[in-house]
Structure formats: C-alpha cells, structure tokens
Structure 1
Amino acid sequence: MRFLSVFNVTLLMLLGSVVVLISPSHLFALINVPGLLVVLGGTLCAVMLSKPKHKVVQLLRELPDIIQGKEKAFQGRAEFKQLLRCAQLYRSSQLRVLEQEIKLAQQPLLRKGVQLILDRTSLEDIDTILRKERARLLVVNQEKSQILRLMSSYAPAFGMLGTLLGMIHMLYGLGDVGLDEVGVTMGFALLTTLYGLVVANLVCKPLAIKLEKVTAEHAAHLNVLLEGLVMVYQKKHPFVIRDMLEAHGIPADTKPETKRATTKSRLSKLLPLMASHVD
C-alpha cells in the first residue's frame, strides 16, 4: 500500500501542476472523455490483436496486485533452507525421509530436481530438464512485461490519432466558427496526445520495468537453486552448499549461530526439522 500511496500522490501532484500551468481558472481543462476512450480503447484493441486475449485480460485483473507489489511468488529463505535439508538427507542416504520431505516443497524446480536425483537421472539430463522448467516458471512474468511494453508503445500512437481526428474535425468547421472555438477545439484535440504520453510513461513503462526487475530476481534465485541441486547430486557437504548460497547473498539466518559448535550441533541448527537424523 505504501507504493500505491506514493504513486497516487505523485500522479495527483503532476496533474495538479499541469492544470495550474495551463490556467488556474480552468480546473477541468484536462478532462477529455472521448480522447481518453480513444487512447485506452485503441491501445487495448491493438494489444489484444498482438497477444492472446486471455493473457491481456489476466494482466488487467492483476494490475492492482502488480502496483502494490504482490506479484512476488517465491520465498527464497524457506527454499534455501529446504535445499540444505535435502542435501543432508541425501548425503546421509536417508532416501525415504527425503521423499517425505520433498513432498512439502512449494517450489516446483526444487521438487522436480530432488525427484530426478532420487530417480538416479544423469546429471546432464537433470540440467536440461531443470533449465526448461526454469524457463517455464519465468515466462509468465516475461509475457506480462511484454504486454505492458506493447501498451506503452501503442498509447502515444493512439494519442496522436485522437489529435489528428480532432484537427480534421476542426478544419472542416473552420469557416463556420470563430477563433475562440477553434482554440478550444484544438486544445481538446491535443489532450489525447497528453493522455497517450501519460498512459505510456506514467503507467505502462514503470509497471513493465517493475515486472522485469522481479523476473530478473526470480531468475537469479532459480539459478542458485539449480547450482545447489547439482551439488546435492554430487553429494557435497551441506556446509559447502551453504557457503555457495552465502556467496550469492542468501539470508543470514541460514548460517549456524556459533563457529565453535560441534558438527552435530551445527547441523541441528542448520536442519532443525531433521535434527534427530544427524549422525
């Protein structure tokens, strides 16, 4: 909600400043309902012709959540902890316990990767399958950001289209009206260009950039999981995997609390749910 509030305040300040700059006496100078319909309607029609209709409708439904930052769907801290638990169980050959543990995983990549390891799939096949799974998980947000990018390119074009239509209407009636009405009609027509620029640069592009950033973070997170699963397959020590995760900047509470603890106590802190299985 904090982002939404800042967004609303910034937008209102911008529009208010523009109104004051145009004329303090014309508080409704920026209202042009037909022009807004031309921009929004034309942009939506063009996007639906470019992309599948159901994906565009889904994006429109999710816009409030995207603005409020609710689109983040991965929990890095919990998934990294579960990866370490799986590494300890596989290294100690507790395969039945590992099968039960992996059923609790919410991350599809982690669940599928551990299952492939349990099925004794070759490392090359595991890498190929998991990379395809990674691409499948990322494609959803990538398609949303592409749609927003398309909308940001279409909106100014339809803004210009509305302006041209207004100018054509003005020129046809130029001989029958006075200069005052010509000025009003011209300002009314130019508002569609303003709407197109506002929709593109104040709504669509910022949201596209926001989604692209989230996708990049998700991709980096999945890459770390892939690297960790390869180390699990190779039966690397959980401390080695933990060090790799720390090198990628994982949350600090996945580390042991003290450096002078024994191996058993360190593993019990690292794997609290499986402490009874530590040798």
Structure 2
Amino acid sequence: MDESSRNLFWIHGRHNIIGLLSCIILFCAGFLIHGNTGLYVNISGFLIVVGGTLGATFLSYRVERLKILVKVLKTCYTREPRNPDEIVEILVDLSVKRRIRGILSLQDDEDESSIIFLRQAIGLLVDGYSQSQIREALNTEMYFFRIRRDETIRVLKSMAEMAPSFGLVGSVVGLIGMLSEVGDSAIILSTVPIALTSTLYGIVLANFFCLPFAANIRERTFNELLIQKIITEGVIAISANLHPRILDRKLKSFLTPSARTGEPISIAKIKKRFEIKEQKE
C-alpha cells in the first residue's frame, strides 16, 4: 500500500478511535451522573457473567474454532483493510503488462503479491487454466471463505445470547444473598442494586462487545468478498485479453461512484510504468 493510502487509513483509524472514546465517555457518564458509582461494582456478578459465558462457549465450540475467532478479531482490529480501488489499479497494471510482455511475465507478480487470493488467481492464470476453471476454483475459495467467517460470527452471536442469561443467574445469586439478611431492611435496600448489576453486566457484554465484534467481522468479510470478486472478474478478463481501458471500466463498476478515483489509462503512463522506450525508425 502506498504512502497516501497509509495516511488515509491512519486518518480514518484516528477518527474511529476518537469517536469510540467519545461514545465510551458518554456511556460511562450515564452511570456517573447520579453519583454513588460503587453501586455498579459487583465482582462476584462480573465473574459469574464472564466465567459462565466463556464456559458455555467452550462447551459449545471446539478450541480450534475459538483460536480462529481470536485470530480474526486480531486481524480486524490491527490490519488495515485493502482498498478495492487499489485492487482495480493492480489488475489493470497486470492486464497492461500481459499485453506488452506476455502472460509469463506475471510470474513475478505472483511471487511478490501480498494478497493471497490474488497470488492464487495469478498462479491459475500463468499455469494456463481455462476461464471456466479459473472461475470455478476462485468461486470455491470464496464460498468456503464466507462459510468460515460465518462460523466465526456465529460464535460471537452465541456469546451475545448467553451473556444476559448468566447476568440473570448472577442477579439471582445476589438476591439469594440479600434474602439471607431479611431481618435488616437497610441491608436489603443497599444490596438490591448490587444484585441487579449482574444483569447489567450481561447486557453490556452482549451489546457492547460481542455483537459489535460480530458486526465488524461481517463488514470486513463483505469488503474482502468484494475484493475477491473484483480479482476473479479481473483475472478472467486478463485471460480473455480484454483491453485495459475496458477492464478498468468493468472493474470500477463494482465500486461506488465516490470510490472511482483512478485516472483514465494513458499510453504515456503505461510506457513510464513499464519502462518502455520509443523505437526509432
């Protein structure tokens, strides 16, 4: 990714962090505005909600699936997403290179490409597979990629369903402890808010963490599937030796109008990019 793309990602990421911190401050202010924040602290309820949710998750899914969940979350929040407009430009470059230097010249791009799906697509193209075989192989890859991501999202949604239930369990435990002091009304009134905080913890865990994590993975998945679809159509078009100008227009139809920022392909730009010298008569 070039320097301008990195700067754009940093600006967007900084705006996201600022927005997130602002929302967290507003969220916490709702608890602080009435004072007596100690009423919202319930260590036993917190342990019941978190421990119960994690325990039920371990009973429901394999450890390998949970490891994949951790890796996907880490990738979503630490790795900058690919820009579809950048992928379109790469494919147009490959199309021009193929027309000028031949299809075997794409082997270098196969080795240097940092996108696994694009590397696989170029490998199929260089190996001489037909257009139908390339489409079938890449569509199969896309299909199972989406299934794997759907399974990861399902884990988070299951945790979101379990957390409020364990919050209710924590509240019941707190109420039992409260009723054990039934003779002292002052203690009962002081422990009622603490008993109900477990339900609060369960709702917050489900709606502030699990569901947003699932939504973020789903959004990243849609973006990656769009990129994979662009790569599939682009590589098939390169295999058919489609003109780069037509390829550029075709691939940019996948993008929103505001994302179509690339400049039209010019002969001078092509010659400069691939260091083509003018032949003297």
Shorter-chain TM-score bucket reads 0.7 to 0.9
Instruction: Give the distance between the partners of 1:278 and 1:49, measured in 2 at CA.
Output: 69
Q: Which residue of 1 aligns with 2:43?
A: 33
Given the alignment, which residue of 244, 253, 272 partners 2:262? 253
Deviations 1:114-137 (A, max 9, x none): 222222223222111111222344
SS in 2 for 1:111: helix
Q: Which residue of 1 aligns with 2:143?
A: 135
Q: Which residue of 2 aligns with 1:222?
A: 228
Deviations 1:9-30 (A, max 9, x none): 3223323323434xx3x23111
Report if the CA contact (8 A) 2:168-2:199 is conserved. Answer: yes
Instruction: Give the distance between the partners of 1:35 and 1:150, measured in 2 at CA.
Output: 20
1:168 and 2:176 correspond: yes
Q: Which residue of 1 aligns with 2:28?
A: 15
How much identity, in percent, do the aligned residues show? 21
1:113 and 2:113 correspond: no
Residue identity opposite 2:276 in structure 1: S
Aligned-pair CA distance for 1:31: 0.6
Residue identity opposite 1:255 in structure 2: P
Given the alignment, which residue of 198, 210, 216 partners 1:210? 216
Deviations 1:200-240 (A, max 9, x none): 11222122212211211111121111111121121111111
Instruction: Give the distance between the partners of 2:158 and 2:245, measured in 1 at CA.
Output: 46
Q: Which residue of 1 aligns with 2:10?
A: none
Report if the CA contact (8 A) 2:167-2:201 is conserved. Answer: yes
Q: Which residue of 1 aligns with 2:54?
A: 44
Aligned-pair CA distance for 1:157: 0.9
Report if the CA contact (8 A) 1:19-1:30 is conserved. Answer: no
Report if the CA contact (8 A) 2:104-2:126 is conserved. Answer: no
For residues 105 and 62 of structure 1, do their structure 2 counterparts lie closer, same or farther at Cα, with a shift above 3 Å needed?
closer
Instruction: Give the distance between the partners of 1:5 and 1:252, measured in 2 at CA.
Output: 27
Aligned-pair CA distance for 1:158: 0.7
Give the count of matched residue pairs.
263
Instruction: Give the distance between the partners of 1:254 and 1:55, measured in 2 at CA.
Output: 43
For residues 182 and 150 of structure 1, do their structure 2 counterparts lie closer, same or farther at Cα, with a shift above 3 Å needed?
same
Instruction: Give the distance between the partners of 2:43 and 2:23, measured in 1 at CA.
Output: 22
Where do 1:88-127 residues align within 5 Å?
88-92=96-100, 94-127=102-135
SS in 2 for 1:103: helix
Instruction: Give the distance between the partners of 2:71 and 2:242, measured in 1 at CA.
Output: 45
Aligned-pair CA distance for 1:198: 1.0
For residues 131 and 120 of structure 1, do their structure 2 counterparts lie closer, same or farther at Cα, with a shift above 3 Å needed?
same
For residues 57 and 178 of structure 1, do their structure 2 counterparts lie closer, same or farther at Cα, with a shift above 3 Å needed?
farther
For residues 125 and 98 of structure 1, do their structure 2 counterparts lie closer, same or farther at Cα, with a shift above 3 Å needed?
same
1:153 and 2:161 correspond: yes
Aligned-pair CA distance for 1:242: 0.4
Instruction: Give the distance between the partners of 2:101 and 2:72, measured in 1 at CA.
Output: 44
Give the TM-score taking structure 1 as reference length: 0.81
Where do 1:221-240 residues align within 5 Å?
221-240=227-246
SS in 2 for 1:276: coil
Residue identity opposite 2:187 in structure 1: E
Instruction: Give the distance between the partners of 2:47 and 2:157, measured in 1 at CA.
Output: 20
